[in-house]
Amino acid sequence: MPVVREFRLPDLGEGLTGAEVVRWMVEVGEVVAVDQPVVEVETAKAVVEVPCPYGGVVTARYGEVGEEIAVGAPLVTVAVASASAAVLPEAAALPEVSAAPVAERAAEVERPLVGYGVAEPGRGGRRRRVGATAPVAVAPVTPVAPVAPAAPVVVPVISPLVRRLAREQGVDLAALTGSGPDGLILRADVERAVAARVAVPAAVPVAPAVVEGVVPLRGLRKAVAEKLSRSHREIPAATCWVDADATELMALRRQLNETPGPKVSVLALLARICTVALARFPELNSSVTEDGSGIIRHSAVHLGFAAQGERGLVVPVVRDAHSRTTEQLGEELGRLTEAARGGSISPAELTGGTFTLNNYGVFGVDGSTPILNHPEAAMLGVGRIVAKPWVYQGELAVREVTQLSFTFDHRVCDGGTAGGFLRFVADCVEHPGVLLRQL
């Protein structure tokens, strides 16, 4: 007789309390192996496949697509092979299950999944976003006849978001030719397939579609909305800004990139400037306690930076940025940026920042007054670097100019400290040799 094991939603990352079901990967009555992914869920930080620590027959699933499951709430129950028929009382109510295919992959002791925490006893519960649905009833389980395995179809897709978009739009990924490296299917490939399917002759005038309705806040968008609302509500933020001549900084970058080795990005140079400036003004690498009664000074600089990914704007974090060289900063910034764009960045890589660098110049804008990334106390913003008239050495010249903005928590420091930090950053941008005196 089998024993029923209940697998609950594990802790998928620090600070996460639940996840939304995106796609079930198993059916009731299906035989699953140990650590086989059973469901794809979307958290506030990433889309992940959740593997089950048990091998056996799926007897029930909990939660429909679009439903949010709380951490610690049941996901599936699995009937696993057992030497004893009376280990759990629920086992007596189950029909006979063929033990041969199950026993080979059964696990009687729950194993914590790699990278996940163990849910606390009694924690959880679940809630429906729209309406209410009872868990899927336990279905009679019949022995599964062995079937010759079919040859797997390998579809070159990395991003689960691309798979989800294709599924929602009814696009067969196996029929697509990817435009990415080694034929990798990208989101743009799926969108082109959708556009080709619904395309109409150019001679037929088409009125622009008008979409009206309420778009629910879910997943990442909901998390961002809640975090920014809290920041705006709790933090008395102020912003100061200054124009800076970045001509010499850009010339330095060109010189560095003329030598063999990894290329240095503007973002890497700005990140290096931030770490040096924070060493000079350490009070800005801090946050206010939850109750507002004190200020936490952080000894390490965990540098967050804004990156636009498939799921929207995210803030990956470069750990221990203060201990990295410019080249090392560039390599980590590049790695995290690619992970964010591809949708493969992990929740752990999106948390724990102590200071944020926001290069909104990539969007072609000059300035901004951003909302702080709660609970951080400061953020440096950098506008586009563009040729402008500038008085240089007493004469009017065309120089590469950028606008720097600095938003800070006024509880942490006053204007003198904020202005000193921004002026130091501007001096480093205008005269990169200043950095040499700080090493």
Distance between CA 375 and CA 341 in Å, rounded?
25
Secondary structure (DSSP) of 177-207 = ---SGGG---HHHHHHHHHHHH---TTS--P
**Token duo for residue 72:** 């610690």
To which residue do tokens 């129950």 refer?
Answer: 77
Is 414 among the residues known to form the active site?
yes
Q: Which of 374, 414, 427, 431 is catalytic?
A: 414
Q: In terms of DSSP H, where are the helices of 148-294?
A: 160-169, 187-198, 219-234, 247-257, 266-280
Q: Which of 232, 320, 410, 431 is catalytic?
A: 410
Distance between CA 27 and CA 78 in Å, rounded?
11
Distance between CA 220 and CA 217 in Å, rounded?
8
Distance between CA 356 and CA 381 in Å, rounded?
9
- If one counts every other C-beta atom within 10 angstroms of the C-beta of residue 287, the result is 21
Is 232 among the residues known to form the active site?
no
Cis status of the peptide bond prior to 135, with omega within 30 of 0: no
Sort 143 into a burial class: Cβ within 10 Å, 0-12 / 13-18 / 19+.
middle
Q: What is the Cα 248 distance to its own chain's centre?
A: 35
- Any idea what the Cα angle at residue 92 is, between residues 88 and 98, rounded to 5°? 100
Strands 378-382 and 355-358: parallel
Pick the closest to residue 102 from 75, 77, 86, 79 (CA basis): 79
Amino acid identity at 294 = G
User: What DSSP character marks residue 92?
Assistant: G
Distance between CA 343 and CA 190 in Å, rounded?
15
Sort 224 into a burial class: Cβ within 10 Å, 0-12 / 13-18 / 19+.
middle
Q: What is the three-state SS of 199-210?
A: CCCCCCCCCCCC
Cis status of the peptide bond prior to 375, with omega within 30 of 0: yes
153 half-sphere exposure, CB direction, 13 A CA radius: 6
Residues found in the chain: 439
**Token duo for residue 400:** 């590469």
Residues with a catalytic annotation lie at 410, 414
